[in-house]
């Protein structure tokens, strides 16, 4: 009997038997096969059709919905039914909303809130003076004993006009040195690579 296997099999077999029953009764195979339903009562037929309906509902829930974006490891690009999601080309996809940066050491840090389809970031970045870490530059002041035991001077980078001051044995003497100078600029202000290690795949969007 056509539906006997339905009682012994699982849901997949139920679907196959019910589909076979539909083909048999619809006339699609009537002329080529002997689709005898002798011995099959209405309850069996109804149960088989209900099985088919239930399986189709389950299959629909498990299908990928239109608009879904997935990464594909295919040299030929996106498969049939999908189109390239060009907005993600060369970019990293992040989640909408604000999350928590949970790192092994240190306190959790709340991340910046992101809105739907927001775009940002840069492949390369040039630091501005305000973005540089705090640091110091050394300045050299020289002394010489060839001017006499009671004279000292502040060494200049060029020329011969070295400012001098005279010292004495009185420890109460005070002096103030005022100077305005500019330290030579260093660095080339070139942008640096701002990307982590990566692998390129096709981001594809389901269209139907």
pLDDT of residue 206: 93
Residue 6 makes CB contacts below 8 A (sequence gap 6+) with 13, 14, 17, 18, 44, 47, 48, 51
Q: Which of 26-30, 79-83, 200-204 has the lowest mean pLDDT?
A: 26-30
Q: What percent of the chain has pLDDT over 70?
A: 54
Q: How many CB atoms lie within 10 A of CB 82?
A: 20
CA atoms within 13 A on the CB side of 162: 17
pTM higher than 0.75: no
Predicted confidence at residue 131, as pLDDT, reads 82
Per-residue pLDDT, 135:
78
Q: What is the pLDDT of residue 134?
A: 81
**Cβ contact 88:69 at 8 Å:** yes
The helices-and-strands tally (H runs, E runs) of the chain is 3, 9
- CB-based contacts of 15: which residues, under 8 Å, 6+ apart? 51, 52, 55
| Tens-digit pLDDT profile for residues 113-169 | 889 988 888 888 888 888 888 877 776 654 444 444 455 555 555 666 655 555 555
**Tens digits of residue pLDDT in 187-205:** 778 888 888 888 999 999 9
pLDDT exceeds cutoff 70 at 74: yes
pLDDT band at 30 (very low <50, low <70, confident <90, very high): very low
Between residues 21 and 197, the one the model is more confident about = 197
Whole-angstrom distance, CA of residue 200 vs CA of residue 197: 10
């Amino acid at each position: 009997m056509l539906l006997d296997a339905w009682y012994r099999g699982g849901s997949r077999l139920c679907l196959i038997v019910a589909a076979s029953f539909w083909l048999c009764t619809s006339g699609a195979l009537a002329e080529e096969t002997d689709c005898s339903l002798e011995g099959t009562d209405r309850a069996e037929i109804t149960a088989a059709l209900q099985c088919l309906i239930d399986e189709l509902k389950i299959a629909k829930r498990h299908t990928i919905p239109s608009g879904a974006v997935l990464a594909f490891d295919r040299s030929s690009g996106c498969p049939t039914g999908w189109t390239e999601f060009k907005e993600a080309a060369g970019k990293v996809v992040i989640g909408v909303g604000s999350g928590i940066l949970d790192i092994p050491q240190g306190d959790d840090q709340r991340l910046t809130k992101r809105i739907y389809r927001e775009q940002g970031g840069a492949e390369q970045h040039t630091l501005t003076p305000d973005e540089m870490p705090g640091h110091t530059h050394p300045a050299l002041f020289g002394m010489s004993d060839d001017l006499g035991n009671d004279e000292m001077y502040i060494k200049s980078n060029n020329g011969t006009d070295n400012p001098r001051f005279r010292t004495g044995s009185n420890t109460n003497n005070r002096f103030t040195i005022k100077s305005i100078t500019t330290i030579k600029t260093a660095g080339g202000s070139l942008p640096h690579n701002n990307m982590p290690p990566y692998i390129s795949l096709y981001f594809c969007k389901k269209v139907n």
